[in-house]
Structure 1
């Protein structure tokens, strides 16, 4: 039975259902993403947060079909561009359901996905120095995307690239267009990456740690620029980060990820004011406080376990100070309502399933 597509006219630019990304190894299956649900409305920002190794970047790359060839991906990724059908590639129009596309029906290297990647979905990668080619000028690299998705006229493509560089605040853009990445500072390279990502006016922008290694002044400028361009273009943004300070400034909603699962989702103010999951509480306690009493910073003991052949149980069990012995380590944790728009995956807020070996029976 084929899953239903999103409703016509829905404001959701992206809807992810039960996305799983696994990597088969000799020891077994490494489940980097273990069945997550996400949705982002047009013009809004969802922050995906969590410590290193929890599956954030794997999720972002899966949305663009950039995972390694041996990866096993399942679920549904529905993209609703919100554009007139006449502007879309004919192959995409043919596979559309109510103006939406399930991206996992396309081959990662197929023509349909190449039209989506860079055109309808763009990504700002974590480290611009390694994402940019040192052998080509900044202008040529921005123009490549424009020539693929917007126009075949090189003069027009150069004009669009120049306009985008000016809009992202790169001074003397006419000269900078013909320079190489090593001639740009870190902040300027990041701006060039943003110009490249936005040059085709995507429906969804994936920003993977876009302010990493930038000083706070440039970071603030980059974040303000992204918000301004989002307002002008009406695009949805998936902001991948571990910096809760950046989340507070940029996000409308937050999804907290741990060991390949979304353990808590809520509007940004609600999450900061009333975190529910023990992991989220630990993240909040670890934020340095200005003017606080001297002492050691709070930390979450232990490390993220390897997601290899793990049994059905709470992924945070081994590090949790509020765990329930015989419950949290016996079965998978369902998602529960913790308030308006607030979801949490924890047995502190839901009843465990009644089983024969349940110690509470």
Structure 2
């Protein structure tokens, strides 16, 4: 990884006030509620949180593949790394027609995605090789022989042996780890600038998981791409990421460099996630801590902290009365919590409320 000071001034992708609403019979669900983050070239941003917090909807919104019932607003400013310091305004991906030619020229070519479950992401009706070739034929070359050669090279790069034979096999003939590798080879077949990996190792055993993560790091160094890694596993975050955005109930509640998140967490939710992790050399007889309760359904939510009902450090009459502003702890560390908000009396006053 390159030093942060060596990074270009302009990010590859900047998400600003991203909101996703879903109208339901009993009200409006604010599935994603004002998300902001940046992804820089050659870096890995981890988006972490419990199931149902809006991680997958956020990642899919970047390339316009959410269901039609998702009402999306905000701005996703994309600046190609071919002209990172260009004076022209970056392209707003949300302003594009999700079925239009422009976004389709970016989706798969400039921004690729590894989906959560490759068995459902691959069509069972076509061979693995046919599906990898399809992306190459659309974005790189019209020559089928050249496309097949590229597909075979990518299968080899991701560690699939006997690629000539595997090329003509169907998804059900691949193991879970091999399907995930094939999914990575398809995503990288067009040398994307940004790879979105949505829970890329969820269905894999620990050994195969480690191999897939090592593969992603090696290919990132080879291709120089940025990665948005969506996961609920903090172990993967520690292994893979440069920066971390902790998401809860549709909002980024804390964002900082990876080491800062693990060494100096601020938000009670982040602290709870870290305390729930098993540790090497820890007390084997002691039960792991857990965060009581569950993520509420964000339908017709009043203006308050979404973590209020589960938080041990909540401030009655404050956290349940108004929306929580974002507070900049340092130049690279943001937290959304009244314990650190100037509205609650500043950092010193806020620290006095922290019990755990």
Is the TM-score greater than 0.5? yes
Match of 2:189 in 1: 199
Indicate yes or no: 2:310 matched with 1:311.
Answer: no
Match of 1:246 in 2: 236
CA distance in 2, matches of 1:11, 1:219: 33
SS in 2 for 1:248: helix
What pairs up with 1:37-56 in 2 under 5 angstroms? 37-56=36-55
2:35 is aligned to 36
Alpha-carbon distance in 2 for matches of 1:143, 1:12: 31
- 8 Å CA contact 2:338–2:344 kept in 1: the answer is no
120, 127, 151: which one aligns with 1:130: 120
Aligned with residue 104 of structure 1, among 94, 102, 109: 94
Note closer, same or farther for the CA distance 1:271–1:84 as it changes in structure 2 (3 Å cut).
Answer: closer
Q: Which aligned segments of 4 or more residues in structure 1 are displaced greater than 3 angstroms?
A: none
Deviation of 1:99 after TM superposition, in Å, equals: 6.5
1:214 aligns with 2:204: yes
Offset of 1:295 from its aligned partner?
2.4
Instruction: Give the superposition deviation at 1:291.
Output: 3.0
Matches within 5 A, 1:183-194: 183-194=173-184
Give 5+ residue unaligned stretches, structure 2: 1-7, 346-356
Alignment of 1:74-93 (within 5 A): 74-83=73-82
Task: For structure 1, list consecutive stretches of 5 or more residues without a partner in the other structure.
Answer: 1-8, 86-95, 355-361
Q: Distance in 2 between matches of 1:54 and 1:142?
A: 31
1:358 — aligned with what? Answer: none
**Distance in structure 2 (CA, Å) of the matches to 1:343 and 1:144:** 42
Question: Which residue number in structure 1 is paired with residue 327 of structure 2?
Answer: 336
> What is the SS of the residue equivalent to 1:158?
helix
Q: Distance in 1 between matches of 2:144 and 2:9?
A: 36
Counterpart CA distance in 1 for 2:39 and 2:128 is: 31
Counterpart-to-counterpart distance in 2, 1:344 and 1:287: 21
Give the secondary structure class of the aligned counterpart of 1:21.
strand
Shift of 1:100: 2.4
Q: Is the CA contact (8 Å cut-off) linking 2:64 and 2:98 kept in structure 1?
A: yes
Select which of 314, 322, 325 maps to 2:316: 325
- How far does residue 352 in structure 1 lie from its aligned partner after superposition? 2.4
1:4 corresponding residue in structure 2? none
Give TM-score scaled by structure 2 length.
0.91
